[in-house]
A and B are shown apart, each in its own frame.
Chain A
C-alpha cells in the first residue's frame, strides 16, 4: 500500500501540488534552543482532559438498558477531536514542504493569525485552503486553529485566576499555545513565522463539522503537522462537511404544541464503562412547539424530551421566558424519541453529514406521586429545620444543575408533590445556623449535607429519613516515587513538584450528585487542603507531570484510584489523601506501508483484557502518527497492553469489549515496566476491516 492521498487538489486554476517530503526521523532532537517535547498529541490531550474534568459534572447511572450509562454535561472547551462519520475530507496527504531561507515575506491579508505566541523570526509557515466537501467550493470565514502539540507547561509561574469561592489560582497556562486565523474570500489561510514543532491544525465554521487536519473518523485524532525550522508547509486542504440537524415539533398529550419543553440530543459513544451517552446539545421549544438542535456532529443519537423547571433550568438560566407560561404541575415523565419512557425502546437516530432529520416528540399523561419524609442530624437525630431537600432526576437530564429545593418545616418534615414516575436522587443540604456556644449565638455552625439516596418512584413514598452531617476537610499531599529516565536526562520528583506548584487537585462528583467540583492548589511541597467536601463519590483529578503516571491514590488508607474516592456521613470529618506519581513507561515507533510513512494512523494502547479487567480510563491511550508516520506515547502506567494501529477508527470502538474480541488477535502484546520503553512492530489495520464493525 502506498501512502494515501497523494493527489492534486483542484482549485479553479490553482493547483496545490503535493509532494512527499524526504523524511528524516529525528523527532527528539534539540535545536534552535527550543525543547521539542517528544510527547505526541496524547500528552496535550490528557492535560486538556484534566482541565475539562474540572468543568464537568458527570452523572453515572444505570438505566434499564442493562448497561452503565454515563451521561455528562461536558463543557468541552477547545478539547477533543470530534470528527464525523464517514468524513473523508481533510485528507492527510502529505503537504508540500519547501525550505525557507529566511523570514518569509508573505501577505498577512489572508487568514491573519489573531495571536502568535509560538512565532519565530526564523520560523516556518503553514498555509492551505478550506473547501466544502460536497461541492469543492472554497469556504471563507472558517476559523483555523494551529495548536502546538509538543508543548510542555511552563514552570511555577502563577497568574491571577478567575474568581470562584475556594477555587485556587490556576497555573500560568493550562493549554498549549494557539494561533488562530480566518480564511479569506478564497478560503485560504496562512500562518507565518511559526516555531519548529509538531502542530494540530483544526478548521471550524458555522454550519459545518469541525475537522482536524487528517482526521477521518469521529473521535479520531488528526495528523500532526511537523514544521521544521524555516520550512514552508503548503498545500494543506481541509474539507468540511455540512453538520446535521435534528428539528421537529413537541406536542402535549392533547396534541397541542408545547412551548418551553426541553429537547436534548445525547450522542452514543464508547467509554471504559461501555456504551455511554454524552449530552451534545439541548434547546427549548418555542410557542409553536418547534425546536432545532442544529449543527451536531454526525453519529448516533438518542433524542430526549422533558418538561418543567428542573429539566429546563440550565437553558432557562440563559434566557428570560415569558411569565405567561402555565406552571409545570404537569410533571411529564422524560420521553425518549419516538415516544417511550424506556430507553430500551428508544430509537437511535443516525445522523450523517448534511442531514436535516425531522423528529416530532409527543408527551404522554403520567401518574404522579408524593414523597414525604424528615431531615435529621446524623449524630443527634434531631430535626434539621429549614433544610433544602432536592429531588434530582436520576436520568441526568437536568444537565448537572441543582433543581429548586423543597424546604423542610421546623420539624424537618418535607413533602414533594407531583413527581412523575422514574428514577431520582434525593438529598438535602442545610445552611449554617447560629450555634449556642458559650452563650455566643453569633457563631455559625457548619453547613450540613446528606448522602445521595437513589429512589425508583413507582408509588407514593412516606417515612423517608434523610440523615445529615457536616462536610469533610481533606488534607493531602502529592509525592513522587522513582526517577523518570527521560531522554533529556533523569527527572526527579523535586523538579516535577516545582512545576506543579500552584496547579490544582480537583474532586469531581461521579455519583450523580451536582455541585461545583471541590479543589485546592498545590503548595510548593506538594501539600493541599480541600475544604467542605460533602459526602459522595468523587473522581480525583491531579495534574500529571509529563512522563509520569498516577501510581496510587489513597484516602485515609483506602484505595481511591480504581473506584474513586467515597466519603460517607459515618466517616470522620477529616481525612488524608495521598497521591503518588511514578515514572511512566513509553512506546514509540513508526508506521510504514510498503516503505512509505503512514500519516494519521490511529495508535491505540488498550489494557490487555487477559490481565487487566479493571479497564481504568487512564490505561487507555491513543495517539496518531504525524506526517512522518511516527508516534510516541509516554507516561504510561506499567502493565500488559495490546497495541493497535488503525488506518481509520470510527467512534471509540476500542472501548467496546466486542470490538476487542474481534480485533484482539491483531493487537501486539506489550509489557511495560516503570521507566520502560517498547517499540512494538505494528501492522496497519485497514479502514475496510474496521468499517465492517461500525456497520
Chain B
C-alpha cells in the first residue's frame, strides 16, 4: 500500500450544498457571532493570514455539563491551531488541535481544509477535508462515533446544522 493511500484512510471528507453565497458560508465559519449559533456553539477567533492564530472557546453549557458529572474542568480554549492559507471566501487551510482532554491534546495538530464554491445562482458547495493522521481519538470524535456518549455528532452534525441555519435562519436546536 502506498503512503498516499494510508494517509487517505485517516482523512475524512464532508460535503454539503447550501442555498447561500460563498461569502455567507465563509462568514459563518470564521466569525464568532455565527459560530455560536450552530454546531457546538463555541465562539471562534481567527487571524485570517498565514501564521495567524485560531482559537475556539468552550461554551458555558460545556463547562456546566462537565462539572455536573464530576469531570475535570473544561479549558477556556478547546481547540487551537494556525491559519496556513486564507483565500476568502473560497479556501481556508489551517491546523486544528483539540484541547478538551490530555489524550486529544497529545495527538497534536491535524490539518483542516475548507473549500467553498458557487455551483449555481445562490447555491454553494462546501467541502471540508480533515486530515487525521496520527489522531485516532480525534477521528472518532469528529467522525461522530462518540455521539451515543453525548459528545455530539461531530462534523456531519456541525455542517448539517450550518446548512439549516443559513437556509432557515435557525439552527436545529434553537
Are A and B subunits of one complex? no
Please list the residues of chain B having a beta carbon within 8 angstroms of any beta carbon in chain A: none
